[in-house]
Structure 1
């Protein structure tokens, strides 16, 4: 059993077969993010992408079978083309932060840091998630979901691989 501590974090790294400039574009363009962001089977529509510290990304995620949820990034840092930092939250249609649609304890905000590094013709990306201002129960729930997050982000990055290959 995994135990939660105040410094529990989720880390996933991926090597994409695309140049850094193209990977960066897929993370920073509303049109490109709509092509790949979200777990497999989910269709995402980015409604707002204001890429600057203090700006937001707000997107609707439509699930197979008709379920819908919203996500919000509140950007803290944008360092082109090497680093993005944002507060990741579930949201409502007006971009207000809301509790997880899945029920149970889950942090309202997760600090997300993505770094990009060129490796020849490829790009290594590293994503780190850390709960922000989370209660003990929320940190525990986060720690218990590490395997699920690996699966979810892995599927999301499979979709990014496909989008990058398509051009």
Structure 2
């Protein structure tokens, strides 16, 4: 496994790369299956409950995360581009239980929407995941908040990708 992250100010983009020792189709399926996402997506120790999963352009992945202490947080992906098994593009946001976009519970200046592009690149018997995320339709303050949170975003995704790697190890 290799990890690389960089933050490009000119594009306000976070890029995370990680190589998994699995075929591309298996890694792609882990991102595009309701049942598989429920096994690994989200912060470590949180329970994930998927209430809606419609993998198609403009389809929604709506989920609730619950902390060990009982705190609930809702989120959603709105799928924009699906090119199996090479690419997945979606817009992520915090939401309420009805799927309506809401402000992040931790910041009034967090961007309402983040555009995420995942590329699944085959390399011999491994797959490199390239994740790109950037605020969408954000204010200057929201861009600044996103930029200032780079290390926290990276830590969060590292933990989630660790869970993905463990999940993949368990099913192989």
Question: One fold, TM greater than 0.5?
Answer: yes
1:125-146 CA distance string (max 9 Å, x none): 0111110111111000000000
The Cα of 1:103 is off from its aligned counterpart by 2.5
Unaligned runs of at least 5 residues, structure 1: none
User: Which residue is equivalent to 1:162?
Assistant: 166
Q: Please report the TM-score for the alignment, with normalisation by the length of structure 2.
A: 0.92
Tell me which of the two structures has the higher relative contact order, counting C-alpha pairs closer than 8 angstroms and 6 or more residues apart: 1
Candidates 42, 46, 56, aligned match of 1:52: 56
Distance 1:115 1:10 in 2: 14
User: Which residue is equivalent to 2:35?
Assistant: 31
* Aligned length, in residue pairs: 165
Unaligned runs of at least 5 residues, structure 2: 1-6
Q: Please report the TM-score for the alignment, with normalisation by the length of structure 1.
A: 0.95
Question: Is 2:102 the counterpart of 1:94?
Answer: no
Q: Which segments of structure 1 move beyond 4 Å, counting only runs of 4 or more?
A: 3-6
After superposition, the CA RMSD in angstroms is 1.5
Distance 1:4 1:136 in 2: 16
The Cα of 1:18 is off from its aligned counterpart by 1.1
Distance 1:99 1:4 in 2: 24
- Contact kept? 1:5, 1:139, Cα under 8 Å: no
- Contact kept? 2:8, 2:14, Cα under 8 Å: no
User: Which residue is equivalent to 2:75?
Assistant: 71
Counterpart of 1:22 in 2: which secondary structure? Answer: helix
Distance 1:29 1:96 in 2: 22
